[in-house]
């Protein structure tokens, strides 16, 4: 059986993972940004992005994602440091810093679970946009149980009567001497569909449930030099 990912360079791949050549394109900056389509559920649920910086699986796919000509779209940019996939209501971004950085007092507090976060609220009158930060806290995720700063917000655009929900997980990996840190962020964005039927099938809670496998699979690689 053939499972297909369609890419910008008209590459058709067989199997459940990218070939080594295609994976090289994701992991390096020697080619332009790569765009792709995931056109079947099997590939969606077995594919692994393995870059120089990190590895992670995609969010869980369902049959409804591939009905009536629908599919997941995505792209990899900036030396494999940034990956995005979306299917309409759901948008998932994974990104990291280019190089490890020196640890700060805030990083140390996050490592120790002692950092205090304050709720915020932003109102943009020009675009009639209201953003409420629901909460920010620390959780642990990934193959090495990384401390992750979790920040959740809800935005309402009055003019368009559009609701958008977002939750981001910024996960930290420290070197053995605790002098450097590298981060990988996974950001989930849900835009409520105007279609009532789709709004029942695609929900913010469902997106978070589908993305749990991403958080469980996350592996941040050692690249301290």
Longest alpha-carbon distance in the chain: 54
pLDDT band with cut points at 50, 70 and 90 for residue 223: confident
Summarize pLDDT for 18-34 with one digit per residue, the tens.
333 333 334 444 455 67
Kindly indicate whether the domain formed by 89-225 is annotated with CATH number 3.40.1000: yes
Distance CA 99, CA 53 (A): 9
Summarize pLDDT for 117-174 with one digit per residue, the tens.
765 655 555 555 556 667 788 999 999 999 999 998 888 777 777 788 999 999 999 9
pLDDT band with cut points at 50, 70 and 90 for residue 2: very low
Q: Residue 94, class by beta-carbon neighbours within 10 Å (0-12 exposed, 13-18 middle, 19+ buried)? A: buried
**Residue 183 pLDDT:** 94
Q: What are phi and psi of 117, to 5 degrees?
A: -105, 140
What are the residue boundaries of the structural domains of the chain, listed by start? 1-87, 89-225
Lowest-pLDDT range of 42-51, 92-101, 154-163: 154-163
Distance CA 89, CA 203 (A): 8
**Residue 60 pLDDT:** 95
């Amino acid at each position: 059986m053939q499972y297909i990912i369609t890419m910008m360079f008209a590459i058709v791949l067989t199997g459940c993972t990218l070939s080594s050549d295609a994976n090289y394109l994701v992991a390096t900056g020697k080619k332009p940004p790569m765009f792709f389509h995931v056109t079947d559920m099997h590939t969606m649920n077995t594919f692994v992005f393995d870059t120089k910086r990190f590895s992670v699986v995609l969010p869980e796919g369902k049959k409804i994602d591939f009905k009536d000509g629908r599919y997941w779209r995505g792209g990899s940019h900036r030396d494999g440091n940034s990956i995005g996939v979306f299917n309409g209501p759901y948008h998932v971004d994974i990104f990291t810093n280019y190089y490890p950085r020196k640890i700060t007092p805030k990083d140390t507090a996050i490592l120790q679970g002692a950092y205090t976060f304050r709720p915020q609220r932003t109102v943009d009158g020009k675009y009639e946009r209201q953003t409420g930060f629901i909460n920010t806290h620390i959780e642990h995720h990934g193959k090495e149980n990384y401390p992750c700063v979790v920040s959740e917000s809800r935005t309402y655009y009055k003019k368009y009567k559009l609701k958008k929900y977002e939750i981001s997980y910024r996960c930290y990996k420290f070197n053995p001497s605790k002098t450097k840190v590298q981060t990988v962020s996974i950001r989930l964005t849900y835009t409520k569909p105007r279609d009532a039927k789709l709004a029942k099938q695609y929900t913010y809670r469902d997106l978070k449930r589908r993305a749990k496998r991403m958080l469980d699979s996350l592996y941040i690689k050692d690249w301290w030099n």
